Structure 1
Amino acid sequence: MSGKRYPEDFKIEAVRQVTDRGYKVSEVADRLGVTVKSLHDWIKKYGSHSEQHQALSDQQAEIRKLKAELRRVTEERDILKEAAAYFAGESKKSTRS
């Protein structure tokens, strides 16, 4: 009784087609080649009111925040590298005079 296994991203996208885009469950199930029962189960698991969906949303928000912070820190590092190179060059100039 082992059915076909689908990746989690596939399931989440199928649920979004029903919950976010307003397609009928039977329509999405037929188009994707899954059973209506499976799609209903996925909606319970990944729908907008599920705990797992909320956890994924929280994780995605955290990832966005960390990427923004990484971008900022990388820019600061690059600026400091340029400043260090500039001042190192200025220091050499002042010792030659």
Structure 2
Amino acid sequence: MALQEVFMSGKRYTDEFKIEAVRQVTDRGYSVVDVAERLGVTTHSLYAWLKKFGPKASDKQELDDAQQELRRLKADLRRVTEERDILKKAATYFAKQSG
């Protein structure tokens, strides 16, 4: 089969089909390879659909920023909890010493 014939025999898919394929990856957590194999499309096509119909890059950046902030806040909470525990022990120690 000539290269030109391969391109000309390409299947056309509706936007609804493409969006549902993208949702299987983004919302349901399936891998691109699994979805592509199951639907009979190429991974190249599915990646192109993800770029076109998937979450916006800015949305992904916002999610990354939120995850980074969550990690920072968890670390702060760990530190403050440790400091509180140390202060409780110190207060107990000094209460015993002065009593």
Given the two structures, how large is their TM-score scaled by the length of structure 2? 0.56
Question: How far apart, in 2, do the equivalents of 1:61 and 1:89 lie?
Answer: 43
- Give 1:81's aligned amino acid: K
Q: Please name the residue that 1:42 is paired with.
A: 50
CA deviation after TM superposition for structure 1 residue 8, in Å: 2.9
Gapped regions of structure 1 (runs ≥ 5)? 15-24, 93-97
Residue of structure 2 in register with 1:22 after alignment: none
Q: What does the per-residue CA deviation read over 1:16-54, in whole Å, with 9 as the maximum and x for residues that have no partner?
A: xxxxxxxxx5x34235x457677644344247xx11111
Q: 1:9 to 1:43 in 2, by over 3 A?
A: farther
2:3 paired residue number: none
Q: Structure 1 pair 76/9, CA: closer, same or farther in 2 (3 Å)? A: farther
CA RMSD of aligned residues (A): 3.3
Task: Provide the identity percentage.
Answer: 40
Q: How many matched pairs?
A: 76
Contact 1:46–1:52 (Cα < 8 Å) also in 2: yes
**Structure 2 CA distance for partners of 1:9 and 1:74, relative to 1, 3 Å:** farther
1:87 aligns with 2:87: no
Q: Distance in 2 between matches of 1:76 and 1:88?
A: 18
Give the aligned partner of residue 29 of structure 1.
35
Unaligned 5+ runs, structure 2:
1-15
